[in-house]
Amino acid sequence: MAKGFGGRGMPMGGGMNMNMIKQAQKMQQDLLRMQQEMETKEYTATAGGGVVTACVTGKRELKELTIDPEAVDPDDVEMLQDMIVAAVNQAMHAAEEDAGSSMQKLTGGMGLPF
């Protein structure tokens, strides 16, 4: 095999490859740090004019659910259920948007499939 060439006749750009490896390692470290930060964040949303409040973590776990006693109507449980679902979904959506935004900043818009 000729000196300076890889197995398929491709030049071996050692310096360029090392730079790419270092960049990938830095991105991996940044990604890990971002994931750890996201897991500690909390996202809160309300529904029904604030009578239902849901708080989720960056891990997408429901941490707290608060229901104003005035929202509890035994004759209309369905409306309360709808408000709970809406508040939880809004909080989850906020967590997803924040994660996507943070990933976009980290990758610089490279369109990586994360």
Q: Residues 53-70: pLDDT tens digits?
A: 999 998 889 999 999 998
The pLDDT of residue 3: 52
Q: How confident is the model at residue 14 (pLDDT cuts 50, 70, 90)?
A: low
Residues 71, 50: Cα–Cα separation, whole Å: 10
- Number of structural domains (the chain) is 1
CATH of the domain at 51: 3.30.1310.10
Q: Phi and psi (nearest 5°) for 70? A: -65, -20
Assess if residue 99 is contained within a domain: yes
Assess if residue 10 is contained within a domain: no
* 14-40 vs 77-107: helix crossing angle, rounded to 10: 150
Assess if residue 13 is contained within a domain: no
What confidence tens digit (pLDDT) does each residue in 15-52 have? 668 888 888 888 888 888 888 888 889 999 999 999 99
